[in-house]
Amino acid sequence: MRAALDTNVLAYAEGVGSRAKKNVALAILERLPLSSVVIPVQVLGELFRVLVRKQGLKPIQARNAILHWRNAFSNLSETSADVLLAAVDLAQDQFSIWDAVILCAAAEAGCQLLLSEDMQDGFVYKGVTVVNPFREPWHPLLDAMLEPLS
């Protein structure tokens, strides 16, 4: 099973927001199998913006954070022309274009999950289920994907 990450998961892991959400984000990221995690490139761009504008990091610090996440989870999903076109179609109905790009990139990468606090929890698009990892109890698909605590 593969899971894509939305910007908010990485932003919380970087310390944007509450300590409780940071702890949850880090706990999930530590237990996800590295080879099963996909990061849409759009997420890295959004994370840079959040770290500079909301967290107050210098651009070089935000760049280092982006490189850290890119290296930690090397499966990246590009925003191809097909992904963008699918996102435009999806954005006509219920999503912002940027959320739609992330969801369509996750589908293109063969993900079964998209971990996101911002999108509609439980929404399914082309086999990708949007799951809010900050809601308890965890969705059964997320729970099944996490490696056991050692």
Tens digit of each residue's pLDDT (9 = 90 or more) over 115-128: 999 999 999 999 99
Residue 121 sits in which domain range? 3-145
The answer to whether 21 touches 134, Cβ cutoff 8 Å, is yes
Number of structural domains the chain divides into: 1
- Structural domain includes residue 150: no
User: Can you tell me the mean pLDDT for 133-142?
Assistant: 92
- Structural domain includes residue 26: yes
User: Can you tell me the mean pLDDT for 85-89?
Assistant: 95
Q: What is the CATH number of the domain that holds 7?
A: 3.40.50.1010
- Structural domain includes residue 28: yes
Q: How far apart (Å, rounded) are the C-alpha atoms in residues 98 and 2?
A: 21
- Structural domain includes residue 121: yes
Q: How far apart (Å, rounded) are the C-alpha atoms in residues 100 and 63?
A: 24
Residue 140 sits at the vertex; the CA angle it makes with 138 and 143, to the nearest 5 degrees, is: 65
Structure confidence at residue 149 as a pLDDT band (50, 70, 90): low
Q: How far apart (Å, rounded) are the C-alpha atoms in residues 93 and 40?
A: 21
With a cut of 70, say whether residue 81 has pLDDT above it. yes
The three-state secondary structure class of 91 is helix
